[in-house]
Structure 1
Amino acid sequence: VQKNGGFSSGLKVGITDRFQFGMSFGASNLIGDDSLKWYPHPEVNLKYQLIDETMTMPGIAIGLNSQGFGAYDEILERYEVKAYGVYASASKNWATPLGNMGLHAGVNQNFLEINDQDEDQSLFMGFDIEFNPELSVLVEYNAALNENDMEAEDIAINRDGYLNAAVRWTFVERLHIEMDFNNLLFDEDKVDYFNRELKIIYIEYF
């Protein structure tokens, strides 16, 4: 559930131990009394684990994620926050006295949402830590280097990138409830608040 009554749902399936395929779809103004605006088409999420993580080296993954965030602009044919597009990422995890801690970083290139004339590559990174088997905190930063030039800069709602944070509660073994606080570095000249979203994540093993 997103701001202004927006809603997005997705399904990801592990085809093999290394390859994951997913699709997502949603709408703006689904909840409320404004006109409903569906996303133009389903979006795709592909991920392949290229190199496994070891005690000394991070795991490396490559993928494609065409699902952006927020409302969809039909004129510029892009989401309020651009999707990652094609990406490569590295992740490393450690055991701490509290629980697992992970660091993640990557580079991405969005070749789909380019009508705003900003086609630069971008960078992203993240951090997560478990405080106990039920409760964890996640922080991520998207440099948004493809939203700081030409027409993209005019409509960007961030200031020096997107900083997001979340609290995740593992309600039962496979069910997670997550409260997200997005765009903490918001541009006060364009918006006067950061975004709050509620996520419900269910994981099943076959």
Structure 2
Amino acid sequence: MFHKKRFNLIFLEMNKIIKNIFLVILFAFSNYTFAQTTSGAKASEELRQLIDLPTAGILSGGTMGLNFDILQNGILISKLELAVMDNLSLGISYGGSNIIGAGTPDLYIHPGFDIKFRLIKESLLFPSITLGYNSQGVGKYDKSLKRYEIKSKGFYAAVTKNYNLLGYLSLHGVINYSYENKDGDSYINFGVGFEKTIGPFLSVMSEYDFALNDNSNEIYGKGSGYLNVGLRFSLGIGLSLGMDLRNILENKKNQPYRGVERAVRVEYLLNIY
């Protein structure tokens, strides 16, 4: 009987400790990360990327972002970025295929690097313009051609213009040149897209990558470009969840499956200074 009472007292004390720890964590999150979101009309940070296409958005100074993309073939790509100051961010990414699921993972041979600098801030008449470099492609990596299934953007310029329309409507455009050109396809490429907020925490988006630098070889692009759509939902405390439908036009040659590709994106933002 004595041991049972003692056990109950210990259990109650442990329960109080756990509750207090939870409240401290919740308080810390609410202070530092609740406002750090990129989805919906109440987003406090700019959208930096649609599905694959970069935007002119950039994190505010001192904000760190951590992204995970989960794609077909067990592909996982993680990215860490930091806005070292307003209008300038640096990032590093890494991943591989067959990471999710069974079998031996096939890791990328090198990490991807990202740098982004805002050249012109958006005004009433002019869009925001950002210059950047991103060496991280999407999909499996072809070691013989030294390229990803979907090439990295390389050097790019992105423009974004926002409008008040039942929330916000954002229009995006990008021009880029990828150095993944050992396949002989080295044209300048273009892409366009939009984001529309639905309520305070939800955004829908779509993009079209013309893939002009990936339409003249016998392995990858067919020439119809990449059309993708996605949803982004803010869960609070700096966390957002995204779901994408990719390659709707089935632009990939010799793919072993039919239909669109499904993907998930998880984003976490934290203001660290």
TM, length-normalised to structure 1: 0.93
Written as runs of structure 1 = structure 2, the 5 A alignment for 1:43-192 is: 43-97=112-166, 99-111=167-179, 113-149=180-216, 153-187=217-251, 190-191=254-255, 192=258
| In 1: Cα distance, 2:135 partner to 2:251 partner | 24
Cα deviation 1:20-60 (Å, max 9, x = unaligned): 10000001001222221000111011110000000111011
2:254 alignment partner, SS class: coil
**Any unmatched runs of 5+ in structure 2?**
1-69
1:199 alignment partner, SS class: strand
The answer as to whether partners of 2:172 and 2:193 remain within 8 angstroms in 1 is yes
| In 1: Cα distance, 2:223 partner to 2:261 partner | 14
Q: CA RMSD in A?
A: 1.4
Give 1 or 2: higher strand fraction: 1
Using CA pairs below 8 Å that are at least 6 residues apart, which structure has the higher relative contact order? Answer: 2
TM-aligned CA deviation for residue 104 of structure 1: 0.6
Task: Give the aligned residue type for 2:209.
Answer: N
Match of 2:266 in 1: 200
Q: Paired residues, what number?
A: 201
1:154 alignment partner, SS class: coil
TM, length-normalised to structure 2: 0.71
Structure 1 pair 7/158, CA: closer, same or farther in 2 (3 Å)?
farther
Structure 1 pair 188/121, CA: closer, same or farther in 2 (3 Å)?
closer
Give 1 or 2: higher helix fraction: 2
| In 2: Cα distance, 1:55 partner to 1:189 partner | 43
1:16 matched to 2:80? The reply is no
| In 2: Cα distance, 1:75 partner to 1:173 partner | 43
Q: Which has the larger radius of gyration?
A: 2
TM-aligned CA deviation for residue 195 of structure 1: 1.4
